[in-house]
């Protein structure tokens, strides 16, 4: 310690400790609440302690569709292998009970000394190959049925029926997995942030939604729900309380024509749960706004659903989405690089309730925004004038440097002559 004190002065050590203490936040950050719906649309929910597992087997087809692809492929392969092995054992038992295992090899060439149930089945391997031929209907021609054994005919019919059932179930399961509705929802996108700004004289909550495919979503509709933790007057705690909020849509059917990206608007009025929330209160709010877009896929006719959510940190107060649809050579073009871009606009920082009680706040805000807009225009004009003046001065300097200087020559007689070069 003495050596360290001799190398580093004590004043420097105390100043460094004080600086480190100032950098550390004195107030701890608020713990973030788990999202109910992720940005990708997945539900953040884990099912635990389910005792009645047999309910999943009662709906076996849905269970197979919900499985992962590796599990589905394993079940697909094992179902065929097990059926082939099972009926191979049955064919081997039929041949063994009839005595075909002791028959001479001439039976395969069509000899009439012995009529087996199935020709050329003398081992389990040959019975397995015959089982595959029967169920897959290959028919190589070496092994075939005869009229000798009614039991063999019954087994043949039973194996055909079982094979058809397995094919129908497994192929239907794979088709449903490849044509699931959430695959189409991958091309339905939402803006990463939502905004709150003034629209038509009212405070509105807005977000943008778009479709990347040319094939349309028919009868598309948007629903918004607020999820928060609430406590009833009786003291009951509801961890996930869902509340619907209306969407401002001029169409009575509440459907949207999603041919181009649209800005979905919710007017914050008395019915809205955001009515009493101001800009300063929004940061401390423990709420989550869930957005659900539903519609019918035009190409397949399957109903699809896309979901996302916005928490308090993802809501920008006093912002507006940039326009991304332009008309170019008679065609409307959409610039998706600016899909989530926003610009800052003038908006009152108070809640919608205060704005309804004091309309003068909106007027003052609009006046301030108009003044700021005029000031920005004046600054732009002054900057343009300064730039133009600088350009003119630089051009004059360049022209003056191009003027030919006059040179004086003195002759030996003392006369001065002036010439230009």
pLDDT digits (tens, 9 = 90+) for 281-321: 888 888 889 999 998 888 878 888 899 999 988 999 989 99
Cα 233 off chain centre by: 38
**Over the chain, what is the mean pLDDT?**
78
% of the chain with per-residue pLDDT over 70: 77
Q: How many CB atoms lie within 10 A of CB 184?
A: 23
75 or 47, greater pLDDT: 75
Q: What is the DSSP letter of 187?
A: G
Q: Would the pLDDT of 194 be above 50?
A: yes
Q: Would the pLDDT of 358 be above 70?
A: yes
Burial of 149 from C-beta contacts in 10 A (0-12 / 13-18 / 19+): buried
- Sign of the dihedral defined by the CA atoms of residues 69, 74, 76, 77, in that order: positive
Distance CA 402, CA 336 (A): 51
- pLDDT at 397 (0 to 100): 67
- pLDDT at 412 (0 to 100): 55
Angle at CA of residue 327, ends 324 and 331, nearest 5°: 115
Range ranked top by mean pLDDT from 34-43, 81-90, 280-289:
81-90
Cα 78 off chain centre by: 34
Q: Would the pLDDT of 145 be above 90?
A: no
Q: Would the pLDDT of 143 be above 50?
A: yes
Distance CA 242, CA 307 (A): 15
- Is this model's pTM higher than 0.95 or not? no
Name the nearest CA neighbour of 350 among 262, 281, 285: 281
What's the pLDDT band for 4 if we cut at 50, 70, 90?
very low
Q: Would the pLDDT of 354 be above 50?
A: yes
Distance CA 85, CA 267 (A): 66
- pLDDT at 11 (0 to 100): 46
pLDDT digits (tens, 9 = 90+) for 58-69: 777 888 888 888
Element counts in the chain: helices (H) and strands (E) = 11, 16
Q: Which domains does the chain have, with CATH numbers?
A: 67-179 (1.10.287.70), 184-344 (2.60.40.1400)
Range ranked top by mean pLDDT from 50-64, 74-88, 216-230, 353-367:
74-88
> What average pLDDT does range 314-338 have in this prediction?
89
Rg for the chain (alpha carbons), in Å?
41
Question: How would you classify the pairing of strands 331-334 and 315-317?
Answer: unpaired
- 293 CB contacts (<8 Å, ≥6 apart)? 188, 190, 209, 217, 220, 221, 222, 305, 306, 307
- Which of 22-26, 157-161, 289-293 is predicted with the least confidence, judged by mean pLDDT? 22-26
> What average pLDDT does range 109-120 have in this prediction?
71
33 or 271, greater pLDDT: 271
- pLDDT at 6 (0 to 100): 43
> What average pLDDT does range 274-280 have in this prediction?
88
- 343 CB contacts (<8 Å, ≥6 apart)? 319, 320, 322
What's the pLDDT band for 82 if we cut at 50, 70, 90?
very high
- 323 CB contacts (<8 Å, ≥6 apart)? none
- pLDDT at 35 (0 to 100): 82
The two tokens of residue 27 are 């107030």
pLDDT digits (tens, 9 = 90+) for 203-214: 899 999 999 888
């Amino acid at each position: 310690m003495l050596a360290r004190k001799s190398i580093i002065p004590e004043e420097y050590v105390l100043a460094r400790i004080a600086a480190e203490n100032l950098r550390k936040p004195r107030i701890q950050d608020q713990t973030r609440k788990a999202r109910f719906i992720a940005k990708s649309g997945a539900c953040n929910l884990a099912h635990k302690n389910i005792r009645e597992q047999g309910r999943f087997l009662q709906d076996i087809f849905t269970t197979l569709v919900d499985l992962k692809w590796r599990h589905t492929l394993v079940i697909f392969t094992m179902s065929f292998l097990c059926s082939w092995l099972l009926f191979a054992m049955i064919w081997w038992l039929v041949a063994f009970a009839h005595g075909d295992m002791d028959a001479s090899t001439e039976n395969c060439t069509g000899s009439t000394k012995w009529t087996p149930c199935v020709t050329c089945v003398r081992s389990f391997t040959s019975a397995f190959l015959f089982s595959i031929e029967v169920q897959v209907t290959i028919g190589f021609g070496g092994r075939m049925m005869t009229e000798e054994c009614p039991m063999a005919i019954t087994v043949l019919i039973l194996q055909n029926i079982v094979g058809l059932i397995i094919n129908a179930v497994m192929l239907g399961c794979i088709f449903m997995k490849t044509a699931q509705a959430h695959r189409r929802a991958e091309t339905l996108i939402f803006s990463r942030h939502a905004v709150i700004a003034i629209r038509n004289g009212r405070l509105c909550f807005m977000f943008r939604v778009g479709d990347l495919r040319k094939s349309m979503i028919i009868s598309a509709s948007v629903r918004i729900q607020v999820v928060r933790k609430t406590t009833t007057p009786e003291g009951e705690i509801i961890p996930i309380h869902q509340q619907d909020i209306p969407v401002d849509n001029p169409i009575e059917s509440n459907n949207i024509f999603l041919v181009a990206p649209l800005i979905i608007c919710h007017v914050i009025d008395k019915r809205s749960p955001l009515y009493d929330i101001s800009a300063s209160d929004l940061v401390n709010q423990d709420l989550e706004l869930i957005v659900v877009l539903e519609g019918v896929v035009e190409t397949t006719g399957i109903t699809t659903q896309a979901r996302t959510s916005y928490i308090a940190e993802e809501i920008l107060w006093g912002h507006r989405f940039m326009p991304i649809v332009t008309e170019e050579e008679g065609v409307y073009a959409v610039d998706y690089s600016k899909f989530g871009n926003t610009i800052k606009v003038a908006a009152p920082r108070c809640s919608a309730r205060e704005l309804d009680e004091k309309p003068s706040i909106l007027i003052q805000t609009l006046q301030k925004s108009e003044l700021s807009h005029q000031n920005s225009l004046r600054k732009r004009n002054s900057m343009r004038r300064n730039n133009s003046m600088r350009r003119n001065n630089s051009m004059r300097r360049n022209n003056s440097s191009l003027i030919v200087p006059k040179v004086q020559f003195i002759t030996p007689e003392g006369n001065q002559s002036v010439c230009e070069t």
